[in-house]
Structure 1
Amino acid sequence: MNRRFATGIIFDMDNTLLHSKINFAEMKQAIFQLWTEHGLIEPTFDWHSHTASQLIELGRKSGRLTSQLEQEMWGAVTAIEKAGMHEAVLENHAQEVLAQLMERHHLFILTNNAYAAAEEALHQTGIAGCFEKIVAREQMTTLKPHPSGIHYIRRQYPDMPASAWTMVGDSWIDGKAAQDGEVAFIAYQGHAQDMERHDVAPQAYIADLRELLTML
């Protein structure tokens, strides 16, 4: 049975706890090519300035996405994820920080990756046991930056108010999901310009995960 804590922390995975080699540019290009080949978006569309999750949502909203085409897209995305996660390593101090935080907080992973890839990487790096649950794209109705995953996690402890939760991530998409999910956001090695461009206002910027031990 889970222990009852007053607060919870939601961690992004890639480039927050794990340093992976997922080629996100390749992933975006694969989605873009698939969508243009089947007429979901125009070949002149500026895919470089969008995230993979945004490109996926554009395909879903096009009205032309078939189940077969979506399956083909996820196959391409998953292959790129698996290749990049194969040699993932922990961010500096991740293990020691998580070991301390799990003694007084509910800890969750929230990732746009597939559950199987995330679980394998977390077990491989030895930190899977720190988390009550891995929330991956299979548990979300819409990927980050949508707050679907935040809502899913908060439903695990409905008696805890939004103010009891904090998300930690490196990207504006994590911050946007946190803000729209009404929880605090701490940016780990995040780029302030990217945050400002997308109207994300982190509670704090940190450069070292150990800073969380005095903040949370």
Structure 2
Amino acid sequence: MKSKYKGIAFDMDNTLLRSHIDFPLMKAETFRFLASQGILPEDFPLALHTTATLIQAAVRTSAMSAALMEEMWSTVSRHEWIGMEGAELEPGAAKLLEELHGRFHLAVVTNNACQAAHKALSDHQILHFFDHIVGREMVNSLKPSPDGFLYLLNAYPDTEPQEWLSVGDAWIDGKASEQAGMTFIAYQTELEHMNKAGVFPEGWIGHIRDILQFI
């Protein structure tokens, strides 16, 4: 039976690749920098934020100059590069992509830098499966903003949002996907945590190849 989906968008970290990015430390160091520059207050509710939403809050202030922005991103990039060292493919990911390639539009939507994403996917010999790698330089706002997924929809004007399936491990993936009108499948994450963030996935999978049951 023909699938109702035309495209599949994957998150990268801990969805396609088992990276070792220390997200709590990255968030803490980013916040320390922003607070030290007076961009965010010391009593900022850090526990309620990811690095991405922390950065969005900083960007919305009038104190964020281009120089400070560059320094902030250097902190984030350092953690990304360190975390990608020794990263491994999720079990079954390469075989899955081989099966899907040519049948669906395949894309990666990540908050990582484009260069880091291309290198990580190339190092694991899966870059060629994807039509688009949407990194942070290509959007105005990071996930949980839907910008990355809206970029894909603009790239494929012959598709509708409901013809895309999105797969990711974090609530920000789900929030961004749902706001773009795409169906979201949660990968190896606690649904209770997602629900508390206002994200209600269409389904949950424990192995990346289980996505086949939805298409």
Q: Same fold (TM over 0.5)?
A: yes
Is the 8 Å Cα contact of residues 186 and 202 (structure 1) preserved in structure 2?
yes
- Residues 81-123 of structure 1, C-alpha deviation per residue, up to 9 Å, x if partnerless? 0010121100010000111011310000000000111111001
Runs of 4+ more than 2 Å apart: none
Q: Percent identity between the aligned chains?
A: 39
Is the 8 Å Cα contact of residues 5 and 162 (structure 2) preserved in structure 1?
no
Partner of 2:183: 184
In 2, Cα distance between equivalents of 1:213 and 1:107: 14
Task: State the one-letter code of the partner of 1:45.
Answer: F
In 2, Cα distance between equivalents of 1:57 and 1:157: 27
Task: State the one-letter code of the partner of 1:110.
Answer: V
Where in structure 2 are the equivalents of 1:3-18 lying within 5 Å? 7-18=6-17
Which stretch of structure 1 is more off in the superposition, 114-123 or 37-46? 37-46
Partner of 2:132: 133
Task: State the one-letter code of the partner of 1:140.
Answer: V
CA RMSD of aligned residues (A): 1.2
Partner of 1:199: 198
Where in structure 2 are the equivalents of 1:66-215 lying within 5 Å? 66-215=65-214
Task: State the one-letter code of the partner of 1:33.
Answer: R
Task: State the one-letter code of the partner of 2:117.
Answer: A
Shift of 1:209: 1.2
Long gaps (5+) in structure 1: none
Task: State the one-letter code of the partner of 1:152.
Answer: Y
Is the 8 Å Cα contact of residues 5 and 165 (structure 2) preserved in structure 1?
no
Partner of 1:28: 27
SS, match of residue 155 in structure 1: helix
SS, match of residue 185 in structure 1: strand
In 1, Cα distance between equivalents of 2:146 and 2:53: 13
Is the 8 Å Cα contact of residues 92 and 209 (structure 1) preserved in structure 2?
yes
TM-score of the superposition, structure 1-length normalised?
0.95
- Residues 105-164 of structure 1, C-alpha deviation per residue, up to 9 Å, x if partnerless? 000000000011111100111111110111100111100000000100111111211111
Shift of 1:193: 1.5
Which stretch of structure 1 is more off in the superposition, 174-183 or 193-202? 193-202
Long gaps (5+) in structure 2: none
In 2, Cα distance between equivalents of 1:174 and 1:8: 16
In 1, Cα distance between equivalents of 2:111 and 2:56: 13
Shift of 1:46: 2.6
Shift of 1:6: 6.1
Which stretch of structure 1 is more off in the superposition, 130-139 or 206-215? 206-215
Is the 8 Å Cα contact of residues 101 and 213 (structure 1) preserved in structure 2?
no
Task: State the one-letter code of the partner of 2:135.
Answer: A
Is the 8 Å Cα contact of residues 6 and 160 (structure 1) preserved in structure 2?
no
Shift of 1:45: 1.8
In 2, Cα distance between equivalents of 1:200 and 1:49: 15
Partner of 1:42: 41
Is the 8 Å Cα contact of residues 8 and 165 (structure 2) preserved in structure 1?
yes
Shift of 1:196: 0.6
In 1, Cα distance between equivalents of 2:163 and 2:5: 7
In 2, Cα distance between equivalents of 1:24 and 1:54: 13
Shift of 1:214: 2.7
